[in-house]
Structure 1
Amino acid sequence: GTLLSPLLQKFFPYSFIATLKEEGADIMLRMFDKDSETPELIWDAGMRVELRFAVAEVLDPLIKSRQENAKLDVDFVLPSNFYIKYKKLEDELIIGGVYVRV
């Protein structure tokens, strides 16, 4: 919903969030697993790897802390300035959710 969208935008290109809202999780997950280079979505295996590494980088310290002290009850807070900067999208111009080059 409204609260989840800003969080998801830190991880995914906007097209994923729009698809999740409009068509549901099953369609979004199918998009996630496929490569795409359309005006609405640029996404490929390398970007999936970047996402996995970024998530691991954020979660690994928390997991390690909990493994070292099972009684540790720490709330996880994603750093406010966190978002994934996909290398493939660095030079892309996006206007209104559309990649201009494609």
Structure 2
Amino acid sequence: MLNDQKQLNLLGLATRARLLVSGEEIVLAEVKKKRATLVIIATDVSDNTKKKIIDKCHYYKVPYKEQFTTAYISHAIGKKRSICAFIDGGFANSYQKLDMS
């Protein structure tokens, strides 16, 4: 539970550092450019959206995680979003390490 909050804080921090992009189209563009280092998909997105994002992540070999609801992600980054992606390896690694601890 504590790590969940730390991960949400990291989303906010990365947003302020301009190292997190959000929104379906922007995230897909970053995945295609191979700049996305980790994609976060809200657990409550539509099946079509989820499939589209996951397929692109598989094709371009970008790790992704289905975690948090749209409300949690939106609150953490300050705008209504259900898809976001780190475009910085350091933030992505820190985020994933919190999953393991």
Give TM-score scaled by structure 2 length: 0.25
TM-score if structure 1 supplies the norm length? Answer: 0.25
Structure with the greater relative contact order (CA < 8 A, sep ≥ 6): 1 or 2?
2
Structure with greater strand share of residues? 2
* Structure number with bigger Rg: 1
